Amino acid sequence: MKVFILLALVISVVLVSGCIQSYGQTGPALWVYKTKADYTNMMSFVLDDNNEVGLLPALPHPGVVNYKDGFYYARRPKAPYILSHTVIVNMTLDEWEVWTQTHDNSDLVNYIIEMNPITEAYLCESPDDIPSLAVGEVPHTCESVQIMTGGEELTN
């Protein structure tokens, strides 16, 4: 009986440590990306294939992004779809907060000024990439991400 309890305990520890390790691999990743212009304070959102407003805002808040030599560095979910479907709206983040009090988010499509703001992007999943946040270049362990560009105009 003691052997059975000991064996069950060992198996439990192995399973729990495996879950902890795999959880860390599914969390946010480091994204390194460039945009066509400086959209740091502009409102952005994800526009899905049906031209409906998704995630708001799509690009991270300026307070959580590092910027150096044209590259933005941000911790985000591992979802290339977000970068491929990000659009920029002709209003600042502050203006958007006031605007939402009297408008529906679906009206944002009328204010799009850039359909394809991301020019290049890299996904860095290794914790070793984090120290390179301020170097102004893409860490060598990061993988290039294909950005699927949408149309230049909305299709209704």
Confidence (pLDDT) at 66: 81
41 domain-assigned = yes
12 domain-assigned = no
* CB of 44 closer than 8 Å to CB of 89: yes
Q: In terms of C-beta density within 10 A (0-12 exposed, 13-18 middle, 19 or more buried), how is residue 146 classed?
A: exposed
Domain range for residue 87?
Answer: 27-145
13 domain-assigned = no
- Residue 72: how many CB atoms within 10 A of its CB? 21
The number of distinct structural domains making up the chain is 1
111 domain-assigned = yes
89 domain-assigned = yes
pLDDT tens by residue, the chain, 156 residues: 444 333 333 333 333 333 333 333 445 678 888 999 989 889 998 888 888 888 788 888 877 888 888 888 888 777 777 878 899 999 998 998 898 888 888 888 899 999 999 998 888 876 665 655 555 677 777 888 887 765 554 444
8 domain-assigned = no
User: Residue 140: CB partners within 8 Å, gap ≥ 6?
Assistant: none
- Tokens describing residue 146: 């294909």
User: Residue 76: CB partners within 8 Å, gap ≥ 6?
Assistant: 28, 29, 31, 60, 82
C-alpha 88/C-alpha 46 separation (Å) is 9
- Residue 55: how many CB atoms within 10 A of its CB? 17
Backbone region of residue 75 per phi and psi (left: phi > 0; alpha: psi in -120 to 50; beta: other values): beta
116 domain-assigned = yes
38 domain-assigned = yes
User: Residue 48: CB partners within 8 Å, gap ≥ 6?
Assistant: 54, 85
